[in-house]
């Protein structure tokens, strides 16, 4: 009989210890949860209101505070889906400022020099008559081996939320002013059999072909690294006609 009483006491003591440990774990979990809610911006008043409601009825709606003000740009849950504390419910972004990512062609990489903290201008097809501004904060130090482009990133103010993530934009970059650089209109440079050349005016109606090597280019100008000298008069309009005439004469000579 004595052994039975001792066994009951031991079992009761163990149960009490286990219950006290479970209570401590629950208190710790509650404290951690309260701290996380405060970090997320939920006030003590809001927590108390939820606790009071939980005592009186089954709560099916919970207020979830975002860590910062922003716009929901993605929803990862559906109605009545069961989730736990590890689930990502929404993706929130602060669209008051947006990043502009520019892929700069390899031949234009020198234009990136000195662009950090500078202002660039860009346009979108959505607002073709409007020019936006952005401030450069990163110029890539590597060229992508596949696209042969270097990244440049700028930040643009977006107070009116006109710019949307994923939009395509056309960026205007100011070519760096380099001393001793010769440039010609793009239309002046002809090409045949993988060779580039221009027609230089000699005198009267006389023109000669001059092979050239080109470098960087923009929408209307191209750098000439060799083959021309400052002051050379080149054909800009009518170069295709002279090229056709030159090729016709070559074919006639071959016959």
Which spans in 57-166 are helix H? none
The pLDDT value recorded for residue 124 is: 94
Beta-carbon contacts of 97 under 8 Å, excluding residues fewer than 6 positions away, are 155, 156, 157, 158
Residue in 112, 98, 115, 117 with CA at minimum distance from that of residue 155: 98
Whole-angstrom distance, CA of residue 182 vs CA of residue 220: 14
The pLDDT value recorded for residue 189 is: 92
Answer for the pair 110, 124: CB distance below 8 angstroms, yes or no.
no
* pTM score: 0.49
Whole-angstrom distance, CA of residue 243 vs CA of residue 241: 5
Q: What is the mean pLDDT of each run of 10 residues along the chain (255 residues)?
A: 68 81 84 70 59 54 78 86 85 92 86 85 93 92 89 94 92 68 88 90 89 83 89 88 83 66
Place of tokens 């590597």: 142
- 3-state SS assignment for residue 71: strand
The pLDDT value recorded for residue 161 is: 92
What are the structure tokens assigned to 74, written together? Answer: 């993605």
Beta-carbon contacts of 145 under 8 Å, excluding residues fewer than 6 positions away, are none
């Amino acid at each position: 009989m004595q052994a039975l009483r001792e066994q009951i006491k031991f079992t009761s003591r163990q149960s009490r210890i286990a219950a006290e440990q479970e209570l401590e774990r629950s208190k710790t979990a509650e404290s951690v949860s309260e701290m996380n809610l405060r970090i997320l911006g939920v006030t003590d008043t809001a927590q108390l209101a939820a606790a009071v409601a939980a005592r009186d009825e089954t709560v099916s709606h919970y207020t979830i505070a975002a860590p910062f003000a922003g716009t929901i740009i993605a929803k990862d849950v559906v109605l009545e889906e069961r989730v736990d504390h590890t689930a990502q419910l929404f993706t929130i972004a602060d669209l008051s400022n947006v990043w502009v990512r520019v892929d700069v062609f390899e031949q234009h990489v020198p234009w990136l020099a000195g662009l950090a903290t500078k202002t660039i201008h860009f346009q979108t097809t959505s607002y073709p008559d409007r020019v936006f501004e952005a401030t450069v904060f990163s110029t890539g130090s590597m060229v992508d081996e596949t696209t042969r482009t270097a990244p440049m990133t700028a930040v643009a103010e977006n107070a009116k939320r006109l710019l949307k993530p994923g939009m395509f934009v056309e960026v205007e970059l100011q070519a760096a002013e380099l001393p001793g650089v010769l440039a010609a209109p793009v239309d002046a440079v002809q090409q045949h059999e993988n060779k580039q050349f221009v027609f230089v005016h000699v005198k009267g109606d006389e023109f000669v072909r001059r092979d050239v090597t080109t470098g960087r280019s923009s929408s209307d100008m191209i750098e000439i690294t060799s083959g021309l000298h400052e002051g050379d008069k080149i054909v800009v309009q009518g170069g295709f006609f002279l090229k056709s005439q030159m090729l016709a004469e070559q074919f006639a000579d071959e016959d």
